[in-house]
Amino acid sequence: MKLVVCSEGDKAGQNIKDVLLSFSTFEERRAGEFKLYISDEFYIAETKERLICADYIDQKLAKYVDFEEILFASRHSSKDGRKIFTVHVSGNVGTADFGGRPYSLAKPSPHTMKNYVLALKDRMDRKPEFEFTMEVTHHGPSEISKPSAFYEIGSTEEEWKDREAAEIVAESIVEAIKSEKRDWNVAVGVGGTHYAPRQTEIILSTTFTFGHNFAKYTFEHLNTQFLVKAVKLSEAEYIIIDEKSVNSAVKGMVNEAAEIAGVEVLKSKKVKREFKLLP
């Protein structure tokens, strides 16, 4: 069973939750600090905590309900105010400025992320002013041992409260929860900007999905051992590099980590050319 988690103070998370509750019959119950909604298909948990600060929430919730994966329904904030749907895994490379701990990573759920993205892709024409983009690994919670990822609406209160945007996300979440498709190629991504344009293209149009992704701005903190840890947590078989933003030193580190972890290194242009999704 999968568990959707939202925060009481998160307008986008609440909007998505309200739509999810309209899809089925849920039993509502109080469990310690949480409000739980139980159905035959999935569970919803509501917390007072900000999601980025919800370290160990999987262990806390496991006292009350049995689940194998978390989908964090959340808002996305940015100064540019762009209208976007985003998905990413949580964790921190260097400092922990927005929840979690430094050099700590949550365990990803790459297959559910992929199934969600494809479900979302089929619905994007309903909100043509929105775009989809992945984000790199950033912010807390980092202390999550169950597979998890963030599913977000951005980037201002107008979008967080948009009912149709929440319907698109909620429908895509349910489709991903129900999907049993898990034969995707899993990679860790290295390079690019915060919104990971190469990785976004790859998850939309190839047989690949991602666990953790590390932007160019993290390279000063990234090291071989940490990259190996990310590969293992992601249960990845590949490391994909954005060759336009990876210098020789980083390539050397990636190759060393790949050898230790026993995975293959691929350039993003090769992945886009040779691993296209069949129609």
DSSP 224-251: HHHHHHHHHHHT-SEEEE-TTS--HHHH
pLDDT of residue 279: 78
SS3 category, 263: coil
* Residues 180 and 230: beta-carbon distance below 8 Å: no
CA distance 198 to 4: 28
Which residue, chain included where needed, has tokens 């980083």? 250
Query: 265 pLDDT exceeds 90?
Result: yes
Q: What is the pLDDT of residues 2-50, one digit of tens each?
A: 999 999 999 999 999 999 999 999 999 999 999 999 999 999 999 999 9
Dihedral angle over CA of 97, 100, 101, 107, nearest 10: -130
Each residue's pLDDT tens digit, 184-193: 999 999 999 9
What does the alpha-carbon distance between residue 145 and residue 153 come to, in Å, rounded to a whole number?
A: 24
Is the model's pLDDT at 131 over the cut of 90?
yes
CA 221 to CA 96: how far, in whole Å?
12
Mean pLDDT value across the chain: 97
**pLDDT above 90 (res 79):** no
CA atoms of 91 and 89, how far apart (whole Å): 7
How many helices and strands, by DSSP H and E, does the chain display?
Answer: 9, 14
The pLDDT of residue 236 is: 98
Rounded Cα distance, 159 and 165, in Å: 7
Rounded to 5°, angle at Cα 273 from 116 and 182? 30
The pLDDT confidence band at residue 63, using thresholds 50, 70 and 90, is: very high
Q: Give the pLDDT confidence score for residue 278 in this predicted structure.
A: 86
Ordered strands of the 2-7 beta sheet? 27-31, 34-38, 43-47, 2-7, 69-77, 148-155, 84-88, 131-134
Residue for token pair 């609440």: 14
User: Mutual orientation of helices 248-261 and 224-234 as an angle, nearest 10°?
Assistant: 50
Spatial separation of the C-alpha atoms in residues 168 and 166, rounded to whole Å: 5
Which pLDDT does position 48 carry in this prediction? 97
Q: Are 13 and 21 in contact (CB under 8 A)?
A: no
pLDDT at 4: 98
Element at 171 (helix H, strand E): helix 163-178
| Cα 181 to the center of its chain, rounded Å | 17
